[in-house]
Amino acid sequence: DFSSDRIEIKKAGGKGTHGHLAISTNRIECAIGEMERRGIALTDERVYKNGRLIAVWLRDEVGGFAIHLLEK
C-alpha cells in the first residue's frame, strides 16, 4: 500500500481484483468531462460528502486494479 497527497495504491479492500488506485484531482467535474471527451467510461456510482461530489469510479479495471478519481 502507498499513499501521497495525489495518489493512493491499495492492494486489498474495496473494489478491484487486485486492489484500487485513487487519483486526486482539484476539480473532479472538469476531470470527469475530460475523461468522457476522451471516451473513458465511468460508472454511475458517485460519492458525495456534504452534498459535494468527491469520487467517481472508472468502469473498467486496469491490470486488475479499480481506479477512481478523488477530489480533495
User: For the residues 12-31, what does the mean pLDDT come to?
Assistant: 88
Predicted local distance difference test score (pLDDT) of residue 38: 97
Query: Residue 7 — pLDDT band, cuts 50, 70, 90?
Result: confident
pLDDT at 65 over 70: yes
pTM for this model (two decimals): 0.79
**Residues in Cβ contact with 39 at an 8 Å cutoff, skipping those fewer than 6 apart:** none
| Of 25 and 10, the one with more pLDDT | 25
